[in-house]
Chains A and B, each alone.
Chain A
């Protein structure tokens, strides 16, 4: 078996390069806990509204309930996604994606690739899309989605979202059975010197599993959830009031702050879930509460963006690409 020499970090670099060369902004991972790359504002907020955008970023994604104390070779509490957003998707988006696989050393003629129906939905985000799981020799390596709705808002234009499961792809390329055996980095001076995924992350998986399943203080988690939620709601209400007054200051209103609070709530919900602290009756209710925050921020964001554009137009200024300063 020809072993690929691509290390985990080389895989990441190649993919980032590939998408940078195709005009994507290379963003950094969002620095808050998220369950998936979709939740980072670079996806959740950018797909809203009419402005075109292309971005690629790595996103460590935390799913407390998926933790296995580092004992399961295929499961992680925190896995890493490479997220690409193409708004709008080019005609040849599928071919482009397949080229990215070639860029990481996969000769498509030697493999079996299939696009199998898999539609994506996130009730907490009020978001859904149509797409596929991309199967490479029977392994799901990417989720490919045409976003249709986000934060309860119908999207126009549509965005294509490509989510690469990096650990899986690396394990495939390196032909290892355990994620922890993936070679993360290799010393070019001394190729025998390697750092594996286990070297880098095992302690994280073990300790965070203990924290998520056993140690996290349920009472505090609830309190935090309530506080973050209250603050987020307050901000959304304030924005609505300003909007009514037709305030010229909409532009500087901290909706991004509100969105961070919403993300905090989502993560706290996941932690409570992992702790088994959410009863049947509560569960549906809490999901609805978080969706309300996400939808509130998304709708306000659309308003803020269009106000911003109007302002820029009337002042004859080019609209800056950055969403907020």
Chain B
């Protein structure tokens, strides 16, 4: 048994791609070793830094075990005539390299055949590895590849490969990758080490690299960074660094030998909105923000370095200088932006493209206003005071104006937020009361929410409506153009936007129908230039399918409903999200009960009977007629159904109570199937019974299709 080490040394791999590639490489090597019978259960230890992905596999055999194989030969009756071997027998013995006397005979269903046990010699691990590794490595997935070697047929990889280590025990495995021969020499830290690191054995990998200023384990680097962040923050009394998982992952993958410095900035910059400061630090400089004991932003930052430290404070000084310039820029932009109000800027949107075929943001603003007003009407159908339509309308008008500001041009991730912040400080309209202005500002600020399923939805109902209208307008336009997401292709993030709509409707409990929203969204495009480019003929059906998928995802993955419950309730309608959720909650409560397990089974049976009848072209009666019922069980079921149906109409959306009513039919249904035969010869009786079952299915499947409920859970 030996250990195997593979390291691919690269020029700096993009931080975002490292984790996936590291795990994939380990998986591929593990599978290769198992597939080739070089290891039974491999213990894999993956490593990565910006300049390498590597995997250490322990307990690899030096060669494959020899394998005994049963090789079948010709039929005995062909190979032997009168007990004498014929040419086919000799040929077979020769082929398998045995004496004729060592050849066996086995009987098979097709008769007796010659057969031989052949020992297949296992191949050496090194041979297999040098043959297979290039294929495995070439198959690694990278979001973006490049050429660097001459020749158009040369292979591509994420970045140029500069060295490769492949060792089985102490021996180098001869592998050629991208014109580089694998060996036993790795590379240390670019600056801190003296370069080449000679490896004596695979297991010494991490330790050897460590002495060359490379922490090869990402988990270990994360641990070190966390500790260093803590230590650096302690220099400021009462301060804490802001936890940021994503940023931490990024800096772990940007460093080989991390350390942390605490830097400072002029407290005067704290007069800029925190959102702006944090974005500059986080997104542009990859700094962690520091907050004081009250959770307020403190004038410090933490930078993660790819070097051992900063004894002279030069690095700190440099980073402070950059941040100061960035903050100065932000302040400059903030001040310049105030020269023109959002109101003024909303007119400039004619010159900002929304999407090349869907016109400008000015066009979009018009459409979103129209759609938002329509949604407002639906929302206040029962209560005219449910929503401040004026806030929605004004918010929609100004929502995209911040796209023309310098601050958003510089920090695009702050779109919406900047508009909200500007609306707060600007006089939008002299007649507007302060509270209304703040409400409008909030609506603008929240318009892109939720940015993910973990993000919160817009705070106010007005914000919710604007956000829905904005997203629905984009989705409707793209779908009409035929730009429907498929597979991994979703360049406009329409799935995320649709998920957002579902989440907003669910959490704000808005009684609006998806189909209504999209009919209206599509109508807003009527007569526009964009409409001339529309091609989708199946707009309504496409939207319905798309949202059904989104809703399914939301119910299952976000809300945690069982998949059979989700299927059952969606089969009974997916247009009214609030209603779907209410039904799912009610069905979840009764799903495990005996009554509903039985009803589920009965409904499945009913569906089958009706399907078979349909296949045989046997029509149910137009209407179930109690007087034509011949059996008691049949009559009883009809009675109970009629009562339960009346009760359902009365209970309306009280689904828990309704399900209680539906549970009433379980007993008579069970008895019916015990006592009554449906497909009898008497056509009239049969048709009447089929009608009864048809009505049962139709009347009691409005909450959920119970036949979808999976038994025994």
Which residues of A are interface residues toward B (Cβ below 8 A)? 1, 72-75, 88-89, 91, 94, 98, 108-117, 119, 130, 132, 136-139, 146, 148, 154-158, 172, 175, 177, 276, 278-280, 283-284
- Chain B residues in 8 Å Cβ range of A175: 317, 321
The one of B192, B319, B328 in contact with A138, judged by C-beta atoms closer than 8 angstroms, is B319
Contact A136–B318 (Cβ < 8 Å): yes
Q: Say if the beta carbon of B306 comes within 8 Å of chain A.
A: yes
Stretch at the interface among B142-150, B450-458, B472-480, B514-522: B142-150
Cα distance A138–B303 when bound, in Å?
Answer: 9
Contact B151–A156 (Cβ < 8 Å): yes
Knowing A116-B254, A172-B318, A177-B325 are in contact, say whether A138-B285 is a contact too (CB < 8 A): yes
- Chain A residues in 8 Å Cβ range of B360: 280
The one of A72, A109, A114, A119 in contact with B306, judged by C-beta atoms closer than 8 angstroms, is A114
Contact A156–B150 (Cβ < 8 Å): yes
Q: Say if the beta carbon of B11 comes within 8 Å of chain A.
A: yes
Stretch at the interface among B38-46, B59-67, B345-353: B345-353
Cα distance A51–B520 when bound, in Å?
Answer: 60
Shortest 10 CB-CB distances between A and B: which pairs? A137-B318, A117-B14, A115-B12, A130-B146, A138-B319, A112-B305, A138-B322, A157-B150, A280-B360, A280-B353
- Residues 311-358 (chain B) with a chain A CB within 8 angstroms: 312, 314-315, 317-319, 321-325, 328-329, 332, 350-353, 356
- In the complex, how many angstroms separate the beta carbon of A179 from the nearest chain B beta carbon? 10
The one of B148, B287, B315, B322 in contact with A158, judged by C-beta atoms closer than 8 angstroms, is B148
Contact B321–A177 (Cβ < 8 Å): yes
The one of B191, B318, B324, B332 in contact with A109, judged by C-beta atoms closer than 8 angstroms, is B191
- Chain B residues in 8 Å Cβ range of A136: 318
Contact A114–B254 (Cβ < 8 Å): yes
Question: Which residue on A lies nearest to B148, using beta carbons?
Answer: A158
- Chain B residues in 8 Å Cβ range of A172: 318, 321
Knowing A114-B306, A137-B315, A148-B147 are in contact, say whether A73-B328 is a contact too (CB < 8 A): yes
Q: Say if the beta carbon of B495 comes within 8 Å of chain A.
A: no
- Chain A residues in 8 Å Cβ range of B305: 112
Cα distance A139–B321 when bound, in Å?
Answer: 9
- Chain A residues in 8 Å Cβ range of B14: 117
Interface string of B298-311 (1 = CB under 8 A from A): 00000101110010
- Chain A residues in 8 Å Cβ range of B255: 114
Counting contact residues on chain B (CB < 8 A from A), the size range is: 35 or more
The one of A116, A177, A279 in contact with B15, judged by C-beta atoms closer than 8 angstroms, is A116
Q: Say if the beta carbon of B616 comes within 8 Å of chain A.
A: no
- Chain B residues in 8 Å Cβ range of A91: 162
- Chain B residues in 8 Å Cβ range of A137: 314-315, 317-319, 322
Known: A1-B317, A112-B315, A177-B324. 18 other contacts (CB 8 A): A74-B329, A75-B329, A112-B305, A112-B307, A113-B307, A116-B254, A130-B159, A137-B322, A138-B318, A139-B318, A139-B321, A157-B150, A158-B146, A158-B150, A175-B321, A280-B350, A284-B353, A284-B356
Q: Say if the beta carbon of B573 comes within 8 Å of chain A.
A: no
The one of B162, B310, B315, B353 in contact with A283, judged by C-beta atoms closer than 8 angstroms, is B353
- Residues 244-302 (chain B) with a chain A CB within 8 angstroms: 254-255, 285, 287
Question: Which residue on B lies nearest to A118, using beta carbons?
Answer: B14
Question: Which residue on B lies nearest to A52, using beta carbons?
Answer: B150
Knowing A116-B254, A138-B285 are in contact, say whether A280-B359 is a contact too (CB < 8 A): yes
A-B contact pairs, 24 of them (CB 8 A): A72-B332, A73-B325, A74-B325, A75-B329, A88-B150, A98-B190, A109-B192, A110-B314, A111-B307, A111-B314, A111-B318, A114-B306, A116-B12, A130-B146, A137-B315, A139-B318, A146-B147, A146-B148, A154-B152, A156-B147, A172-B318, A177-B325, A279-B350, A279-B351
- Chain B residues in 8 Å Cβ range of A119: 144
Q: Say if the beta carbon of B16 comes within 8 Å of chain A.
A: yes
Cα distance A148–B356 when bound, in Å?
Answer: 27
Knowing A94-B11, A130-B146, A158-B147 are in contact, say whether A111-B353 is a contact too (CB < 8 A): no
Cα distance A94–B254 when bound, in Å?
Answer: 16
Knowing A111-B318, A117-B14, A138-B322 are in contact, say whether A130-B350 is a contact too (CB < 8 A): no
Question: Which residue on B lies nearest to A1, using beta carbons?
Answer: B317
- Chain A residues in 8 Å Cβ range of B328: 73-74, 177
- Residues 165-200 (chain B) with a chain A CB within 8 angstroms: 190-192
Question: Which residue on A lies nearest to B329, using beta carbons?
Answer: A74
Q: Say if the beta carbon of B500 comes within 8 Å of chain A.
A: no
- In the complex, how many angstroms separate the beta carbon of A112 from the nearest chain B beta carbon? 4
Knowing A88-B150, A130-B159 are in contact, say whether A110-B312 is a contact too (CB < 8 A): yes
- Chain B residues in 8 Å Cβ range of A113: 190-191, 306-307
- Chain B residues in 8 Å Cβ range of A158: 146-150
Contact B352–A280 (Cβ < 8 Å): yes
Contact B50–A115 (Cβ < 8 Å): yes
Contact B50–A130 (Cβ < 8 Å): no
- In the complex, how many angstroms separate the beta carbon of B552 from the nearest chain A beta carbon? 35
- Residues 677-703 (chain B) with a chain A CB within 8 angstroms: none
- Chain B residues in 8 Å Cβ range of A132: 12
Cα distance A146–B317 when bound, in Å?
Answer: 32
- In the complex, how many angstroms separate the beta carbon of A84 from the nearest chain B beta carbon? 17
Cα distance A292–B646 when bound, in Å?
Answer: 72
Question: Which residue on A lies nearest to B13, using beta carbons?
Answer: A117
- Chain A residues in 8 Å Cβ range of B307: 109, 111-113
Cα distance A155–B151 when bound, in Å?
Answer: 9
- Chain A residues in 8 Å Cβ range of B303: 112, 138
Cα distance A154–B254 when bound, in Å?
Answer: 30
- In the complex, how many angstroms separate the beta carbon of B357 from the nearest chain A beta carbon? 10
- Chain A residues in 8 Å Cβ range of B359: 280
- In the complex, how many angstroms separate the beta carbon of A194 from the nearest chain B beta carbon? 21
Cα distance A276–B345 when bound, in Å?
Answer: 13
Contact A108–B329 (Cβ < 8 Å): no
Cα distance A158–B12 when bound, in Å?
Answer: 18
